[in-house]
Amino acid sequence: MNVTDSDEITAYVEGVRRALAGVSEPTRLDLLEDLPEHLAEVQAEGIGTLVERLGPPEVYAKELLASAGLIGGFPDPPAPNRFAGLIETRDNVLRLVHDADVRTGPVIGYAKTSDFLLLLRPAWWVARGYLVAMLIAYMVEGNSREIGLLPRISGNDLLALVLLTGCVIVSIGLGKRTDTLGGGPRLALRIGTVVLILVAFGGFATADSSTRQPGYFDVSYHGGNPNEFGHVNDVYVYDNQGRLVEGARLYDQDGAPIQLGNNYCTDPNTGETMRSRSLGYPFCPQNAPLGASPSVTPAEGAGPAGPSPAPDDASASPTGPSPSSARPSPSPSS
């Protein structure tokens, strides 16, 4: 191929490129990718110019469009996808998850972490049945009582075991048939699984908080004044001898601790408020209204003071003259 032939091919390609000006750049590059080689083959096969053999570049451009399925002119640009951003984000997340799956697998001795998780599917089926049973019991009871570790309904252990067994069996059967489900049911199952896991995490967090933090029952009065004890800041307990009891604790009839007041003390002299270190009542023993301790400690076993015993009759009788001394002496005879 001489220089003249090369120039003719270049000019023809440029003419076709100009005719395809309305096509998107990626499509135009794809259509023109093999055109120079094709024109060189056509030119080498016979005599005549490319225009004589293939027609003007504009005509050849239309034939290229027809062969590419773009008959009838240039296609309209595709409508923008409203979810393009979400789709791109999803693809990026899936790519990151796949990379993490491949990188963390060798750490636990598997090609991918997902290979190990597949072995745990039966355990998850059992756990899913347990969580569903607990959720059913919670919804039936309406949070009216503590359920515990079994899905008890009305406190019935037998019913709890029946419910738990049934949910586990159904969960295992559903797990074995997951691969045969269609797109809609499988998507619904995945959404339900996510919701179940979130509810389970919330339940575990509540149970953990209740276990770590002892509960207190505020004293309430169902009479005329619902806040009868709202003014109480501290509690002072005295024994039957009038001595202040320190470190006392109050409990109700069910053994639950009763919380009154607050554990802050105010120094009456300086007005400074500080947190009490006492583990029971009173929080501020130095502020006891009746004194921290009696002025005199009663003797161990001594009874309360009382009136002195009555004196004996002999000692109580007044002293007077004896009868003989009181008798008058006879007068002398005349």
Whether a cis peptide bond, with omega within 30° of 0, leads into 282 is yes
Whole-number Cα distances in Å, 129 to 108, 163, 169: 28, 10, 7
Whole-number Cα distances in Å, 118 to 102, 110, 122, 123: 14, 11, 9, 10
Q: What share of the chain is helix, strand, coil (3-state, %, to 5)?
A: 50, 5, 45
Residues ≥6 apart with Cβ < 8 Å to 88: none
**Beta carbons within 10 angstroms of residue 259's beta carbon:** 14
Residues in the chain, overall count: 334
pTM (predicted TM-score): 0.41
Three-class secondary structure of residue 120 per DSSP: coil
Residue corresponding to tokens 């290229």: 64
pLDDT of residue 161: 93
Three-class secondary structure of residue 281 per DSSP: strand
pLDDT of residue 295: 37
pLDDT of residue 9: 82
Q: Is 109 left (phi over 0), alpha (psi -120 to 50) or beta?
A: left
Domain residue ranges of the chain, discontinuous segments joined by +: 3-67, 84-114, 123-212, 215-295
The DSSP code sequence of 23-66 is S-HHHHHHHHSSHHHHHHHHHHHSSS-HHHHH--HHHHHHHHHH
pLDDT of residue 165: 95
Three-class secondary structure of residue 145 per DSSP: coil
pLDDT of residue 297: 37
Beta bridge partner(s), residue 257? 251
Over its length of 334 residues, how does the chain's per-residue pLDDT go in tens digits? 555 667 788 888 888 888 887 777 788 788 788 888 888 887 777 676 777 777 888 888 888 877 776 655 555 555 566 777 888 898 899 999 999 999 999 999 999 999 999 999 999 999 999 999 999 988 888 766 666 788 888 888 899 999 999 999 999 999 998 888 888 888 898 899 999 999 888 888 877 776 676 555 454 544 445 556 667 878 888 888 888 888 888 888 888 888 787 778 887 778 788 887 777 888 888 778 876 655 333 344 444 444 444 444 444 444 444 444 444 444 444 3
Separation of alpha carbons 225 and 220, rounded Å: 9
